[in-house]
Amino acid sequence: MSPVAVITGAGSGIGRVVALDLIEAGYRVVLAGRRAETLRETAGSSPAALVVPTDVRSEDSVEALFAEVRRVHGRIDLLFNNAGCAVPGTVADLALEDWQRVLDTNLTGSFLCAREAFRLMREQRPQGGRIINNGSISATSPRPASPAYTASKHAITGLTKSISLDGRPFNIACGQIDIGNAATEMGNRMAEGVPQANGTVLAEPVFDPAHVARAVRYMATLPLDTNVQFLTITATTMPFIGRG
C-alpha cells in the first residue's frame, strides 16, 4: 500500500506545495487545516487526498483528525507539522493574547499532532514512522519584533530532539526543516521589504517553494534507520548567516 502522510497547514503556502509533491510521489495525503475550502482547493480532484478540517490548537480537534486517519487508512507513515502563525511586536508591546495564540498554534499544536501521530506509529504494524517539524530559520536566528514566533520556533527544536529520543525504541524518526524566505503568501512580503536588525528596511531574496517540497520528500523517503535531524533551506543571499 502507498504510504500515508498527514500535513497540517495544508490549505496554503508550504503545506500545499508539500502536499501536492507527496501526492505526486505516490503518498496518500491527509490535508489538515482550519479552512475546509482551501483544503479542498489543495486536494483538487485527487483520490489520494483526504480533507479533514482541523484546529491544531484544540486537543479534541487533533484527536478527531487522527481518529479519522486511523479509520480511513489504519496507519500513518509521515507527519509534517507545518501549521503556524506569527504576530509582530516587540516584547514590550506584544499582547498576552497574541503571545498565547502564536504559542498555542506553533508549539502546542505541533505537540498535540506529534503526540497522536506517535501513539499510532507506536502501535501500528509494521511499527514506526517519521515526524518532520517545520522549525523556520527563526528556530536559530530571530527577526526584530518577533518574541512569540521566535520563542515558539526555538522550542520546536527542543521538541524535535525530545521526540527523536523518545521514538528510538519504536522505530520513529523525527527531524526538522528550517525554511527561510520561500516565495509563498507569507514569504513574499520579504521581497517587498522587511525590518532588519540595524533598523533599516530592506527587500530580501526569495526562492521557489518547490525546492522545500523536494527537501521534505527527501527527508520523508529515507529508510527509518536513517534520519535528517536538521535541514536548513534558504534563499542563498538572504541575510541569515551573519544576520545582525
Enzyme catalytic residues: 149
The residue among 138, 131, 136 whose CA lies nearest residue 162 is: 131
Closest CA to 187 of 10, 32, 12, 23: 12
Question: CA–CA separation, 181 vs 234, rounded Å?
Answer: 6
Query: How big is the CA angle at 93 (ends 88 and 94), to the nearest 5 degrees?
Result: 55
Calculate the alpha carbon distances from 82 to 119, 125, 191 in Å: 19, 26, 22
